[in-house]
Amino acid sequence: MSKTYVLGLDVSMNSTGWAVISVSPNGTVRLVETGVIKANTKHSHGQRLRNQRENFAAIMKKYPIKYAAREAGFARYIKSTQVLFKAYGVAEEYFCELDLVEYAPRTIKKVVAGKGKSTKEEVKKAIREILQLEDDFKFKSDDESDAVAVAITLIKDKVLK
């Protein structure tokens, strides 16, 4: 039996965090690669969405992803929410064959750090412990660490059951 690869996403129009985590048959969980899909804010929404889709394709070409999940969006302002959900639509369409799962931010925090109102730093600390990363391991951005937390939530929910 081979490793299972999981993709976690923190989707946005300008800076989508992503993380690939592997789970070995004996249950060992390992961070494989992370990144951020940056968009040129001078480009149209269509160009940014195409860039995001092309990056998703590159990740899928590199890794045999079996499961994918994203953090659920939230509505604060109508205009920004409409823009955000364009990016969510691209992820939904691209990963439809994997039955893309969505988790609420509080659920992710509770699963990873033990409480739904955990701070970003508490979540990062829990990620370091779960993945046995060095204490001084730094994430490039909150988008990247959020994507790792999403992937861990998916693993605990679907893979290690």
Catalytic residue positions, numbered: 10, 71, 143
Residues, the chain, total? 161
d(CA 11, CA 2): 28
- Burial class of residue 40 in the structure, from the number of CB atoms within 10 Å of its CB (0-12 exposed, 13-18 middle, 19+ buried): exposed
**Phi then psi dihedrals of residue 14, to 5 deg:** -110, -25
Strand order in the sheet with 29-38: 29-38, 15-23, 4-10, 65-71, 101-103
Residue 159 · residue 29 · CB < 8 Å: no
Check: CB of residue 33 under 8 Å from CB of residue 95: no
Fill in the DSSP letter of residue 72. Answer: P
